């Protein structure tokens, strides 16, 4: 049955190519002055890079971002077309009014820091016994001072929700920004110190007081960073799953008023929690026990002001941009106000906007065609599992059970979120409305704690250009917005579609079997279904793959981090191999007929490379290398494809070419 679906899809997608009007691979994207064997990424994407110089409002911009911009324009058309006479309380009224408030620069600048006044006064008057009340208040949708808290499925009981306590509280996001002393990191740290003083001064602090507060904030955050797990350590679930009772939690961290915190986040009665990083939480306990009250107060006030900065007047907005976009990413120009205003309802009222988006932009036929592709990729991955030489029969059986248990979500959810419990009132300030909306969404998250895990829930909106695999529910999800060119084009040939959206599908499937996903069984529980020998062989192959990436220099003398990006690299590796196999089952894949001068295999690999065509600033390269578990686009192409023999054959790449990798050095995991 699935073979028939594959043939149907092949006929559908090949129509344009047979008619002499090739879609998919665009010759304008190429730089033919570079040989494929010299630098395939440059050959496949150099023309695109030349024709799309980096706009100063971006730190990175590529074909992936082009698709996001297309989705953003579609959402803009929807929202700006709503008008001003919508029924009070309707989705249309909430979305439209929230966008309009974000566009009202005159009002925002006139109000200045006034929208913060009442909450700041309450924080200034905070008593020592109330600290955890205010920390909990911020955790409900505003900020995560000292640590993070979240409700997710229990890693070992995927039907039950559990409260997790995790390291956090870092305004720069990653521990290395506080601990490393290279020139780039030192400059960012200096910019951050300036930013703290700048926004606190805007919020009403005198300059001397702002400087004093900055030093206290840096002291607290540096302590948290020093005692935080590394990025690599946080990938090991066996180190993170530390289940404890609330009584034990109170005994281990006695200076934290847990009853007050739990009440503030709305989870009275919780009996057990999971502490991801006990050392970090012990640091919080020590800070609260020994740190002067004024330092804790100023740290909390800063967290609040920082959370609000993007939703206030231009002075606050530009301060935030100068730190988080210019200093950290190298972005030279802030995005137009309409984009920033649009992102707020598009995120905070995501499924409300998604409902409008799907009605206008997602044809039912796209969902059917995507399902056929998923079926084809599932068959191909099953073939790969069955043919693995390094995996034993017992483990293969478990792997196939997991593969065949995947839940597939395409386009949009069957049940939309209910936003009737929150109001958007233009009589209140923009920040007041954003604050209340964020708290509404966070309260929804915390309310899941005492309910069974909702397996029908989506973790991305339909208008999001992305996809995901969720291990706790063993599901793969492909929102509507990613099902557009260059990822998915029903008029393009199979090679182009399998090289793009096909690899995305295979990528998400392979996440179920990467270094983290492989720890979960077909029901989404963290269960070891591997033989010890197979687990050791997997790790050996994964380490070999990681070393390939770590050998790459990204900028200056900084190397890529193959350990931190391991999961995404394995998923890219598997996605390529599996999608190529599925493609070879199609009529086009079985033949060798050229389209626009390229063989089917060449079009497959060119299509894959074009997905990652981009220009990027040096600052953004260094930032992403610190904080992003995905490899840079150039490495997602040049490192990944050099493990596939068909790539070398397709472009006649030989020993001695820079793109060549000896067969003994290649890796095959899935």
**Is residue 93 included in any domain, yes or no?**
no
Angle at CA of residue 368, ends 363 and 373, nearest 5°? 125
Residue 8: pLDDT above 70? no
| 488-529 confidence digits (pLDDT tens) | 888 899 999 999 999 999 999 999 999 999 999 999 999 999
Is 135 found in the same domain as 63? no
Contact between 95 and 373 under an 8 Å Cβ cutoff? The reply is no
Together in a domain, 571 and 621: yes
Provide the pLDDT for residue 23: 77
Same domain, 194 and 300: yes
Q: What is the pLDDT of residues 83-134, one digit of tens each?
A: 767 899 999 999 999 999 999 999 999 999 999 999 999 999 999 999 999 9
**Percent of the chain having pLDDT more than 90?**
92
Residues 128 and 55 in one domain: no
Residues 495 and 541 in one domain: yes
Does any domain span residue 59? Answer: yes
Q: Is residue 133 part of a domain?
A: yes
Residues 31 and 132 in one domain: no
Q: Assess whether 182 and 278 both reside in one domain.
A: yes
In this structure, are 136 and 200 located in the same domain? Answer: yes
Residue 609 resides in a domain: yes
Q: In this structure, what CATH number is given to the domain that contains residue 624?
A: 3.40.390.10
Number of Cβ within 10 Å of residue 574's Cβ equals: 26
Choose the final residue of a domain: 296, 311, 326. 311
What would the mean pLDDT of 26-30 be, rounded to a whole number? 95
The domain boundary, picked from 311, 331, 348, lies at 311
For 326-372, write each residue's pLDDT tens digit: 999 999 999 999 999 999 999 999 999 999 999 999 888 888 888 99
Within a domain: 238 = yes
Rounded to 5 degrees, what are φ and ψ at 409?
A: -115, 125
Give exposure, 49-80, as e/b (b: 16+ Cβ within 10 Å).
beebebeeebbbbbbbbbbbeebbebbbebbe
Sequence-distant (≥ 6) Cβ neighbours of residue 538 within 8 angstroms: 390, 391, 518, 530, 669
Q: Residue 156 falls within a domain, yes or no?
A: yes
Angle, nearest 10°, between helix axes 183-202 and 293-308? 90
CA atoms of 129 and 144, how far apart (whole Å): 19
- 199: domain CATH number is 1.10.1380.10
Domain-located, residue 426:
no
Let me know whether 69 and 187 are in one domain: no
Residue 385 in any domain: the answer is yes
pLDDT in tens, 447-498: 999 999 999 999 999 999 999 999 999 999 999 999 888 888 888 999 999 9
**118 plus 69 within the same structural domain:** no
User: Are residues 535 and 649 both part of a single domain?
Assistant: yes
Total structural domains in the chain?
2
Burial pattern 10-43, b for ≥16 Cβ within 10 A else e, equals beebbebbeeeebbbbbeebbbeebebbebbbbb
Range of the domain at 132: 113-311
pTM of the shown model: 0.92
The two structure tokens encoding residue 319: 């301060």
d(CA 162, CA 140): 16
Indicate the DSSP class of residue 657. B
61-91, pLDDT tens digit by residue?
999 899 999 999 999 999 999 876 789 999 9
pLDDT for 22: 60
38 and 174 within one domain? no
Tokens of 327: 């200093």
The pLDDT mean for the chain works out to: 94
């Amino acid at each position: 049955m699935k073979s028939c679906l594959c043939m149907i899809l092949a006929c559908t997608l090949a129509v344009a190519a047979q008619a002499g009007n090739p879609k998919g691979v665009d010759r304008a994207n190429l730089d033919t002055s570079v040989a494929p064997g010299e630098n395939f990424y440059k050959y496949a994407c150099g023309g695109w890079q030349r024709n799309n110089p980096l706009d100063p409002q971006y730190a990175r911009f590529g074909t992936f971002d082009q698709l996001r911009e297309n989705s953003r324009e579609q959402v803009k058309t929807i929202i700006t077309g709503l008008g001003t006479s919508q029924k009070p309380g309707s989705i249309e009224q909430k979305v439209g009014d929230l966008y309009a408030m974000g566009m009202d620069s005159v009002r925002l600048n006139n109000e200045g820091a006034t929208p913060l006044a009442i909450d700041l006064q309450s924080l200034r008057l905070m008593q020592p016994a109330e600290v955890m009340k205010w920390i909990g208040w911020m955790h409900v949708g505003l900020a995560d001072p000292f640590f993070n808290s979240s409700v997710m499925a229990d890693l070992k009981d995927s039907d039950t929700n559990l409260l997790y306590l995790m390291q956090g509280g870092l305004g720069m996001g990653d521990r290395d920004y506080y601990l490393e002393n290279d020139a780039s990191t030192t400059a960012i740290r200096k910019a951050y110190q300036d930013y703290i003083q700048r926004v606190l001064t805007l919020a009403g602090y005198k300059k001397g007081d702002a400087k004093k507060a900055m030093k206290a904030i840096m002291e607290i955050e540096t302590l948290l960073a020093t005692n935080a797990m590394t990025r690599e350590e946080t990938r090991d679930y066996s180190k993170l799953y530390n289940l404890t009772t609330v009584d034990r939690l109170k005994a281990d961290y006695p200076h934290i008023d847990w009853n007050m915190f739990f009440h503030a986040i709305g989870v009275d009665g919780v009996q057990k929690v999971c502490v991801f990083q006990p050392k970090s939480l012990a640091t919080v306990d020590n800070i609260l026990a020994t740190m002067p009250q004024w330092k804790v107060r100023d740290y909390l006030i800063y967290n609040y002001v920082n959370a609000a900065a993007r939703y206030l007047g231009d002075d606050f907005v530009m301060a935030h941009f100068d730190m988080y976009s210019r200093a950290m990413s190298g972005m030279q120009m802030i995005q137009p106000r309409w984009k920033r205003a649009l992102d707020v309802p598009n995120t905070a009222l995501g499924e409300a906007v998604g409902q409008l988006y799907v009605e206008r932009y997602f044809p039912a036929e796209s969902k059917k065609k995507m399902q056929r592709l998923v079926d084809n990729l599932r068959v191909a991955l099953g073939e790969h599992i069955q043919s693995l030489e390094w995996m034993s029969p017992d483990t293969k059986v478990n792997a196939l059970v997991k593969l065949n248990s995947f839940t597939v979500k395409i386009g949009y959810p069957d049940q939309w979120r209910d936003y009737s419990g929150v109001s958007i009132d233009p009589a209140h300030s923009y920040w007041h409305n954003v604050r209340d909306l964020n708290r509404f969404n966070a309260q929804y998250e915390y309310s899941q704690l005492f309910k069974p895990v909702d397996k029908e829930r989506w973790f991305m909106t339909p208008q999001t250009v992305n996809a995901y695999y969720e291990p706790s529910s063993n599901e793969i999800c492909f929102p509507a917005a990613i099902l557009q060119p260059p990822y998915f084009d029903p008029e393009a040939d199979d090679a182009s579609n399998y090289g793009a959206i096909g690899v995305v599908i295979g990528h998400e499937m392979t996440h179920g079997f990467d270094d983290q996903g492989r720890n979960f069984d077909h029901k989404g529980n963290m269960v070891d279904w591997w033989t010890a020998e197979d687990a050791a062989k997997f790790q050996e192959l994964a380490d070999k793959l990681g070393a390939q990436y770590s050998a790459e220099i990204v900028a200056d003398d900084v190397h890529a981090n193959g350990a931190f990006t391991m999961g995404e690299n394995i998923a890219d590796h598997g996605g390529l191999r599996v999608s190529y196999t599925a493609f070879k089952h199609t009529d086009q894949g079985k033949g060798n007929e050229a389209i626009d001068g390229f063989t089917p295999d060449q079009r497959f690999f060119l299509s894959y490379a074009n997905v990652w065509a981009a220009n990027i600033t040096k600052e953004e390269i260094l930032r992403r290398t610190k904080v992003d578990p995905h490899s840079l686009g150039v490495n997602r192409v040049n490192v990944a494809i050099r493990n596939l023999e068909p790539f070398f054959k397709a472009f006649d790449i030989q020993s001695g070419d820079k793109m060549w990798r000896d067969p003994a050095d290649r890796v095959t995991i899935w």
